[in-house]
Structure 1
Amino acid sequence: MAWTILLVAALFETAWAIGLKYTVGFTRVWPSVWTLIALLASVLLLSLAARTLPIGTAYAVWTGVGAAGTALLGILLFQEPATAARLVCIGLILAGVAGLKIVSP
């Protein structure tokens, strides 16, 4: 169950990171509200997952999935470059996350 909670936390992390783009420096009210809600949900769910998972593993997975998700959505939503090198690096992040899942309790 902790791994599921951690994955949801990482998805919320991706949501708030992408939300930052839509807030335009927190000058737009509703995107700012939704971004802050996603941020709070992300951190709260991370703290719940960290009750049973090692904090180093939980934090690394949380940031890794969040970073990879944000990079992929940046490519899809904001036409950021999708170079082969960038995609390989995103794949390496996800491989590291999978490795942590395999070797962790």
Structure 2
Amino acid sequence: MSEFTSPPESPTPAEVRQAWPETVAALPVGTHVTGRVVGRQRFGVFIRIEGHANAVGLAEVGGNMPHHMELPLVGAEVGGMVVDHADHNHQIKIKLDEWTARPAGGQASV
């Protein structure tokens, strides 16, 4: 699985790097964000974060995604919580709401 669509208004790597200090300040760990999936890879999905044109979000499979869940499709609107900032590649790490809202049985938690 490797899908990537880059909307025409996507920031360049230089724009992402230049905006990084502002992005980290605006999106501290614990902040809830929403956005659109713009890419899928085996390791997770890339997200354009709403209201932050030069921010790149990544929801990784790793320890955040339950084994019974699937990655959202390109174009899907998603929400989640900022769990980390990856300074080395200027990515906002996100844990998607759907990964915490439903236990293995598929029922929403109360």
Asked if Structure 1 and Structure 2 have the same fold, meaning a TM-score greater than 0.5 normalized by the shorter chain, the answer is: no
Name the TM-score, length of structure 1 as normaliser: 0.26
TM-score by length of 2: 0.25
Per residue, is there more helix in 1 or in 2?
1
Tell which structure's C-alpha radius of gyration is larger: 1
Higher relative contact order (CA 8 A, sep 6+): 1
